[in-house]
Structure 1
Amino acid sequence: MEAKHPSAEEYSEIIARREEKIREDWIRTMQARIVREELQKCHKAEGVNHYQVCHELAQTYLDLLKDAKVKGYRIIDQ
């Protein structure tokens, strides 16, 4: 049985989908980084009141951390 090789158009589409996935992963990662930096500023500025004042920002950061990993396009089972 012969292995089917993708055509040039199919290969270009595969590469475009890979790049888009990696780009989206990096966007989520950078959003989490920006929120983390804002949270650090809030903690420093608010002092002992940071638990009340920065709570929403901390919750947003925790929500972003769930998906803020650059996984790549290939999953390798070990």
Structure 2
Amino acid sequence: MVWKEQKFDQSPPEDFDPAKPYADPVAMLEQREYIVREKLIAIEMAKVLRERVQQCYRREGVNHYQNCRPHVKNYLKSISNVGWGKDAKPNYEV
């Protein structure tokens, strides 16, 4: 059995109009799937960066303030505006 690579479209739909989101239901659903996919990727990336911070903290001991600073900065930048709250919700006007 040969594995065939499956390609996914990783861009938002071109025919989606944010001014009229319900004009094309298929484009609206594709846009929603795109937003969810990007949010899940951002959440998983934040988890990976959090693990790096934890490992650095354990490895460096008392020097973790200086030696883990780049990891912590990357982690804090990745968690800003990530999640499923109202602030991160796309703004569709009806």
Q: Percent identity?
A: 29
Gaps of 5+ in 2: 1-21
Instruction: Figure out how many residues of one structure are paired with residues of the other and give that number.
Output: 68
Match of 2:29 in 1: 15
When Rg is computed on C-alpha atoms for both structures, the one with the higher figure is 1
TM-score, normalised relative to structure 1: 0.75
- The C-alpha deviation readout for 1:52-77, integer Å capped at 9, x for no partner, is 110011011111111221355588xx
Tell me: higher relative CO, structure 1 or 2? Use CA pairs within 8 A at least 6 residues apart. Answer: 1
| Unmatched runs of 5 consecutive residues or more in structure 1 | none
| Partner deviation per Cα, 1:8-39 (whole Å, 9 max, x = no partner) | xx211111000000111111111111000010
Q: Which has a greater percent of helix?
A: 1
TM-score, with structure 2 as normaliser: 0.63
- Superposition pairs of residues 1-78 of structure 1, within 5 angstroms: 6=23, 10-70=24-84, 71=88
SS of the residue corresponding to residue 19 of structure 1 reads helix
